[in-house]
């Protein structure tokens, strides 16, 4: 008699997909809560709170050792921390001027361009053109008004995201476990905190604001990162990357539900084009990697 029970590998993949989507939802809900706080705490102050609490959580969990590293190691992790801070500040400044879905759609161009560059295939540039077309469509009637300064902030965050991916890999190679991320997050928090205090003032230290800042840090950083780690144990890296390409759609949905940022049909089409371009670029990069190694992508 043939068993109809789901295969364990299939169950693991299904759970992996659910974990990735859950992480994306938490991240965008955290960002939407930050937006709701902007009238009280400006974007830079909000970033300072998020990074400080995220750093404290990571320091408690990782308890990184600080000895035994070379000057090159510290330059790498220092650069990682600065990029992490810049990426968050630029993204939150974009959120002040753009709908959540539009900001994430523009920001995701950074990793998409990196995927195209990694693939080193002429056909992959078609995905980049498709993504640019999507963003152009978003600006041309996709939303009521696409603030040009907000677009620049979101594009800057996307560029930082590219550097973040590269420096994250280098930091992971030099520091064990979560040590590098904990140190980088602490550097980012220390760099951002003075600016946050200068722009937000004493309100930053009110108990209610501190509690909300901690909630944003947990939702935007701690929970998504933990869920992504568990998901990577159940999904191939290429499948994980494709699922992460759904971030613009997730952000748009959360923006509609939490922030009441309603988008036009044209905007949803534009977001769909960027997601399609991201999936295509990731698949092209994965195909090239398999051809170079002669091996399939293993499931972690």
Residues 127-132: contacts with CB under 8 Å, at least 24 apart: 127/277, 127/278, 127/280, 127/281, 127/284, 128/277, 128/281, 130/273, 130/274, 130/276, 130/277, 130/280, 131/273, 131/274, 131/277, 131/278, 131/281
The two structure tokens encoding residue 282: 């990731």
pLDDT of 149 reads 94
**Tokens 């890296």 belong to residue:** 237
Burial category of 71 from C-beta neighbours within 10 Å (exposed 0-12, middle 13-18, buried 19 and up): exposed
In a domain, 269, yes or no: yes
Residue 298 falls inside a structural domain: no
Matching residue, tokens 């990162």? 225
Token readout for 190 is 């220390």
Q: Residue ranges of the alpha helices (H) in 108-178?
A: 109-119, 125-137, 148-174
Phi, psi of 39 (to 5 degrees): -65, -20
What is the per-residue pLDDT for 242? 80
pLDDT of residue 111: 82
Residue 64 has a pLDDT of 92
74 assigned to some structural domain: yes
Q: What pLDDT score was predicted for residue 288?
A: 54
Which 3 state secondary structure label does DSSP give 144? coil
Helix axes of 8-37 and 247-259: crossing angle, nearest 10 degrees: 50
In 3D, which of 260, 273, 255 has the Cα closest to residue 106? Answer: 273
Q: What is the largest CA-CA distance in the chain?
A: 71
Rounded distance between C-alpha atoms, residue 255 and residue 158, angstroms: 19
Q: Would you state the pLDDT for residue 142?
A: 55
Do 161 and 88 touch, CB atoms closer than 8 A?
no
Block mean pLDDT (10 aa), the chain, length 300: 52 81 93 93 95 94 91 95 96 94 90 75 76 80 74 94 89 90 95 95 92 92 84 77 86 93 87 88 63 35
Instruction: Assign 3-class secondary structure to 164-208.
Output: HHHHHHHHHHHCCCCHHHHHHHHHHHHHHHHHHHHHHHHHHHCHH
3-state helix, strand, coil in the chain (%, to 5): 80, 0, 20
CA 250 centroid distance within chain: 12
Q: Would residue 37 count as lying in a domain?
A: yes
Residue 31 lies in a domain: yes
| pLDDT (0 to 100) of residue 28 | 94
**Token pair listed for 70:** 């070379």
Q: Under a CB-based contact definition with an 8 Å cutoff, are residues 246 and 275 in contact?
A: yes
* Residue pair 124/116 in contact by the 8 Å Cβ criterion: yes
CA distance readout (Å), 46 to 38, 135, 139: 8, 27, 27
Q: Which domain range does residue 25 map to?
A: 10-293
Q: Quick check: is 3 in a domain?
A: no
What is the value of pTM for the model shown?
0.85
Q: Is residue 134 part of a domain?
A: yes
- Find all residues with CB under 8 Å of 252, minimum gap 6, and list them: 99, 100, 101, 102, 104, 105, 263, 267, 268, 271
Q: Is residue 1 in a domain?
A: no
Total number of domains in the chain: 1
């Amino acid at each position: 008699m043939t068993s109809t029970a789901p295969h364990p590998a299939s169950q693991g993949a299904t759970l992996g997909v659910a974990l990735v989507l859950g992480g994306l939802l938490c991240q965008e809900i955290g960002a939407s809560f930050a937006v709701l706080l902007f009238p009280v705490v400006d974007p830079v102050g909000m970033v300072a709170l998020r990074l400080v609490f995220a750093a404290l959580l990571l320091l408690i969990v990782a308890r990184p050792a600080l000895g035994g590293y070379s000057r090159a190691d510290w330059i790498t992790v220092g650069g990682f921390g600065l990029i992490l801070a810049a990426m968050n500040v630029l993204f939150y400044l974009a959120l002040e001027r753009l709908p959540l879905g539009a900001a994430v759609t523009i920001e995701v161009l950074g990793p998409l361009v990196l995927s195209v560059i990694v693939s080193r295939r002429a056909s992959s540039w078609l995905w980049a053109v498709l993504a640019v077309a999507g963003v152009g469509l978003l600006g041309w009637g996709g939303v009521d008004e696409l603030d040009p300064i907000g677009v620049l902030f979101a594009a800057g965050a996307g560029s930082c995201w590219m550097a973040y991916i590269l420096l994250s890999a280098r930091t992971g190679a030099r520091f064990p476990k979560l040590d590098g991320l904990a140190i980088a997050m602490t550097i980012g928090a220390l760099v951002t905190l003075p600016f946050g205090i200068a722009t937000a003032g004493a309100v930053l230290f009110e108990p209610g604001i501190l509690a909300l800042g901690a909630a944003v840090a947990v939702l935007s950083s701690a929970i998504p990162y933990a869920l992504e780690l568990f998901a990577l144990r159940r999904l191939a890296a290429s499948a994980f990357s494709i699922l992460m390409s759904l971030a613009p759609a997730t952000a748009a949905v959360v923006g509609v539900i939490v922030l009441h940022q309603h988008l036009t049909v044209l905007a949803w089409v534009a977001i769909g084009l960027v997601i399609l371009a991201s999936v295509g670029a990731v698949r092209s990069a994965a195909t090239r990697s398999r051809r170079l190694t002669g091996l399939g992508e293993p499931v972690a």
